[in-house]
Amino acid sequence: MNILFIGDVVGNPGREAIKVFLKPLIKEYGIDLTIANGENAAGGKGLTKEVAEELYDYGIEFITMGNHVWDQRSIMKFIDQEARLIRPANYPVGAPGKGYGYIRTKGKKIGILNLSGRVFLNNLEDPFSGAIRWINEMRQETPLIIVDFHAEATSEKVALGWFLDGKVSAVLGTHTHIQTADARLLHQGTAYITDVGMSGPRDSVLGVKKETIINRFLTQLPAKFELAAGPIQLNAVVIDVDESTGKARSIKAIQRVQE
């Protein structure tokens, strides 16, 4: 089974990248399931119902989130009814939405778990101990489990990858918007990458106008973040997973650019 996971979709440029590149990628790699992190998909922060529907129309089948999940307050009105959308599982009990979900493809059920890191981010429930609890619940339904770990610190991501090796099909880092060069299979059959990257404006600083961020570093003054224009890119990974065991056979990092 070939699963395509797309890195943080940033605003309209990121959605345009999905529109341009997704269908050719599905054909090229024989993709059976498409997942995307959508926490920046609406104007660079959060997700609206309209933007979610746009992503579904382009071929995205499941959406994960991150620390910007509540930036568009309207998500609270529909996240509980949307089976194809999850937020980090380690948010407090009572938060809207779910931390993991399932989707069927090729007659198989795939579980998707969303976690948030705690280093340099909100002090949520421990993602390590929480992950074991949620994965044990999920494995009663399927051995095919994809984890989106939305985290800032490289060390936290690498540690969780090793911690979950052999327990899930893949641990895929998101949040930092820069694709890392460490896609690999871990020893017990878990596919891993520290950060999948970003789908959005290429000539930018993590999606934002580069001039704005450079000036902020020079002056240390606050500035309004606006998304950059220009060339678009899509960052993703393709994971080949054994349908019977849930172990990954390969992981390949993908980059596409439209000038």
| Active centre residues (catalytic) | 68
Measure the CA–CA gap between 237 and 251, rounded to whole angstroms: 7
Dihedral of CA atoms 68, 73, 77, 80 in degrees, nearest 10, equals 20
Query: Distance of CA 55 to CAs 6, 12, 195, Å?
Result: 12, 11, 21
Residues contributing to the annotated binding site: 8, 39-40, 67, 150, 175, 177
Name residues whose C-beta falls within 8 Å of residue 129's C-beta, 6 or more positions apart in sequence: none
Measure the CA–CA gap between 130 and 150, rounded to whole angstroms: 14
Residues contributing to the annotated binding site for Fe cation: 8, 39-40, 67, 150, 175, 177
Joined together, the tokens standing for residue 253 give: 């990092």
Residue 159 has, within 13 A of its CA and on its CB side, a CA count of 14
- Residue 229 phi/psi, 5-degree rounding, is -105, -170
